[in-house]
Amino acid sequence: MASTHPWDIRRRRKRSFSPGVGQARAAWLFLAPSLLILGVFTAYPMLRAAYLSFTKFNLLAVPEWVGLDNYARIFTDPQAGNAVVNTLVYAAATTIISVGLALLIAVGLNQRFLFRGFARTAIFVPFIVSMGVVAIAWSFLLNPEIGLLSYWLKQLDIGSGQGWLRDPSLAMIAVIMVGIWKNLGFYVVMYLAGIQSIPREIYEAASTDGAGPVRRFFSITWPLLGNQTMLIAIVATITNVQAFDQIYVMTQGGPFFRTETLVMMIYRTGFTQLDFGYASALSYLLLGILLIFSLAQFAYFRKRAVTY
């Protein structure tokens, strides 16, 4: 027979209302609003898109189950292939150039010189400006009739008479250039934080041994920034693979679909052609590409992670 002694009842109450249990309940209560928002605006749309990717759906009728037809269509659709190639070209070029330039600029901005604070601020300012505003400004700058930058390039005999954004061979270069300029400051700040966390004693010891600036960079700075490089590369890849607003404002995927990325094609397929089933399948193709890129970069840089 279970004991009903008052001391036993009091001990059970203390165990059921221990501080750890109370803290856990309080934590879940604080997390509940965020979890609810994530569930409504992230989890449910993803699950709904996964279901729609196996259906034919145009908002005007009940979704019709078609199985893997939408995914099979991707491999036979030349526009999907073009969008995948454009996405990979844009993401690879923008990410590689951004990471390399950010590292070099961060090393330069870590040195002492006049107006260093102003230079750091100037390089970071584009990042805090909306991409839509940036894209509009660059569209005017590259306009062949009124653009100041277009005029300067024309004087140097660079570009073409129809303008960078209207030339099929130059449009992708233009949007890549703007993508690099927009996010470069953020990556520079991340690299600066990494450089300043490297103990100065390591550089002093290398200088004592006769190592010059170039040798110190390749033997100390670059290897010890492996963790920052991994983070920056993954963030940059995810950002660039999902490029939309910049390309929508500047070229709308043209000319002749030369700058249409997967996100642009998803938008056009879903909201212009109302083919939401196929657009959902393309969305999961994009998710797969992001996952592969992120896992590959994580595996590569994890072997080069450093501690000091």
Say if strands 64-65 and 55-56 run parallel, antiparallel, or are unpaired.
antiparallel
How far apart, in whole angstroms, are the C-alpha atoms of residue 200 and residue 220? Answer: 11
| Assigned token pair, 29 | 């209560």
Domain annotation covers residue 59: no
Q: What is the DSSP letter of 163?
A: -
| One domain for residues 37 and 125 | no
Q: Model pTM?
A: 0.85
Domain annotation covers residue 90: yes
Identify whether the C-beta of residue 301 lies closer than 8 Å to the C-beta of residue 295.
Answer: no
Domain annotation covers residue 168: yes
DSSP bridge partners of 64: 56
Is the omega angle on the peptide bond into residue 45 within 30 degrees of 0, that is, cis? no
Q: Which residues contact 175 (CB under 8 A, 6 or more apart)?
A: 90, 243, 246, 247, 250, 251, 259
Q: How far is CA 153 from the centre of its chain?
A: 30
| One domain for residues 48 and 74 | no
How confident is the model at residue 15, as a pLDDT? 52
| One domain for residues 74 and 178 | yes
Does the pLDDT at position 5 exceed 80? no
User: What CATH number has the domain bearing residue 244?
Assistant: 1.10.3720.10
Domain annotation covers residue 63: no
| One domain for residues 83 and 122 | yes
The 10s digit of each residue's pLDDT in 235-278 is: 899 999 998 989 999 999 989 999 999 999 999 999 999 999 99
Question: Phi and psi dihedrals of 275, rounded to 5?
Answer: -100, 75
How far apart, in whole angstroms, are the C-alpha atoms of residue 156 and residue 99? Answer: 28
Domain annotation covers residue 58: no
| One domain for residues 89 and 15 | no
Residue in this structure with the two tokens 């995914």, named with its chain if needed: 71
Q: Report residue 281's pLDDT band, with 50, 70 and 90 as the boundaries.
A: very high
How far apart, in whole angstroms, are the C-alpha atoms of residue 263 and residue 102? Answer: 26
The 10s digit of each residue's pLDDT in 83-129 is: 999 999 999 999 999 999 999 999 999 988 888 889 999 999 999 99
Domain annotation covers residue 173: yes
| One domain for residues 139 and 42 | no
Residue in this structure with the two tokens 């052609």, named with its chain if needed: 273
How far apart, in whole angstroms, are the C-alpha atoms of residue 2 and residue 4? Answer: 6
Tell me the DSSP string of 90-149: HHHHHHHHHHHHHHHHHHHHTS--TTHHHHHHHHHHHHHS-HHHHHHHHHHHT-TTT-HH
| One domain for residues 38 and 158 | no
The 10s digit of each residue's pLDDT in 197-235 is: 888 888 888 888 888 888 988 888 888 888 888 889 888
- Which residue in 212, 193, 191, 194 sits closest to 203, CA to CA? 212
| One domain for residues 99 and 211 | yes
Q: Which range marks the domain in which residue 23 is found?
A: 6-52
Does the pLDDT at position 3 exceed 70? no
How far apart, in whole angstroms, are the C-alpha atoms of residue 16 and residue 227? Answer: 44
Contacts 24+ apart (CB under 8 A), 162-166: 165/139, 165/250, 165/251, 165/255, 166/255
Q: How many domains does the chain have?
A: 2
How far apart, in whole angstroms, are the C-alpha atoms of residue 159 and residue 150? Answer: 8
How confident is the model at residue 308, as a pLDDT? 55
| One domain for residues 179 and 235 | yes
